[in-house]
Amino acid sequence: MVATPGVLIIDAQERSAAAACRTLRAAGYRVGAACSSRPAPGQWSLACSKRYKLSDPRLGGRRYAEEAAAIADSDGYFTVMPGADASLLAVSRNRDVFGEGVDLSLPPVKVVETCVNKVDLLEAAASVGLDVPETIVCDTVADVRAAAREIGFPLLLKPRSTVFQHDGKVREKASFLAPDAAALESRMSEFGFPCLLQRREDGFPMSFAGVFAGGRLLGAVWSRYRRVWPPSAGSVSFSESLDVPPALAEQIDGFLTAMGWQGIFELELIERGPESYGAIDFNPRLYGSLALAARAGVPLPAIWCDWLSGHQGEVRTARAGFHYRWEDAELRNMIAHLRGRHLLAATSVIRPRRRCAHAFFAWNDPGPLLARALELRMRYSAIRKGSDGTRMHRDRLVGS
């Protein structure tokens, strides 16, 4: 009897985890889910067959990788899937602790480091003809102030990498939209140096996600963000899949080749005009709106695992007209519209949508949504009590 191949999701607390578990289980894989904080929505999914606890990768990458490797070895998982940059870097830098039975199929360590570096992203995008918003790399406080005067407000303050060393600690930060000089001054010390200042551009955020392996795209999903949270500069809360533009797919192919990446990915862009896009972020791992891919006919985690197993099917592209909704972010958007007395906008947020995938909810798998509700209740309770211990974790949760 041939054992069912197993996949270990190592960031079950992330927004993508429930979708990854469901997608893999539907494709016939046995799924284990590990987390570094609880409650973890991925572990509450009926698609998850076994649950594990890991340490925080930001507090010790080597230890984290050893724990994940021990789980994979003892319970026979043939691959490991990260859902956050911190765990991706921990696994990549310590890949030697994984046994021969675990196929990570990661590119070289240097390539992985490049893929989470925002400066390298801009260079690779420009090399294949993808526009990038005006960005200035700053090495000192004086550089930040000078760059802000040149770019103008509002602007985005970004770390050089989502995960970085600062003041002797590993930090994880999302981008910050600075509306004015006072806000920039109050937050710049959190991002370390070098950091990036980037012009905030109007236009719809877009997402090109897929699987790239063997030198080509095996699956592709193209979507437009209709709403984000926070509204000024946040992560997708509602999006719609579109037909994949062939010309853009060729550029993305060239971008991934230039980066050297292999595996699941998401490239976020800003729509500047007809068939004109600027690259703004790259996620070389499971990403926030992953549920949309499977709903639109492209189960990315399964496509990647099939390729690892040597069972490569035909290239798949997502169908247009499918939607994605991040439930609690949409609730916040609705409340914000009601407070601003924008009743039509609030009604649009809560309007039911056909062919819609949700970050956590599924009729036949309610656990992840319950876990998310409990997680939010615990987090807000800690904030009300004056605890700042959740702040770094909160920055990561609202990201991709």
| Tens of pLDDT, residues 166-201 | 888 888 888 999 999 999 999 999 999 999 999 998
Is the confidence at residue 392, as pLDDT, over 70? no
Average pLDDT, the chain: 93
pLDDT tens readout for residues 153-167: 999 999 999 899 888
The model carries a pTM of 0.94
Say which amino acid occupies 277.
Y
Task: Answer yes or no: are the C-beta atoms of 9 and 75 closer than 8 Å.
Answer: no
For the CA atoms of 26, 33, 79, 290, the dihedral, rounded to the nearest 10 degrees, stands at: 60
Q: Is the pLDDT of residue 396 over 50?
A: no
Structure tokens at 267: 């490239």
pLDDT at 2 over 70: no
Q: In the β-sheet with 155-159, what is the strand arrangement from edge to edge?
A: 135-138, 195-199, 155-159, 176-178
pLDDT tens track for 324-380: 999 999 999 999 999 999 999 999 999 999 999 999 999 999 999 999 999 999 988
Evaluate if residue 397 carries a pLDDT over 60: no
Q: State the helix-helix crossing angle for 343-350 and 327-339, rounded to 10 degrees.
A: 170
Average of pLDDT values for 29-35?
98
Residues 109 and 114: their CA atoms lie apart, in Å, by 9
Q: Return the beta strands (E) in the chain as ranges.
A: 6-9, 30-35, 50-53, 77-81, 135-138, 155-159, 163-166, 169-172, 176-178, 195-199, 205-213, 216-229, 235-242, 263-273, 276-283, 316-317, 323-325, 356-358
Give the chain's domains with CATH numbers: 134-199 (3.30.1490), 205-365 (3.30.470.20)
Mean pLDDT of 131-147: 95
pLDDT of residue 1: 41
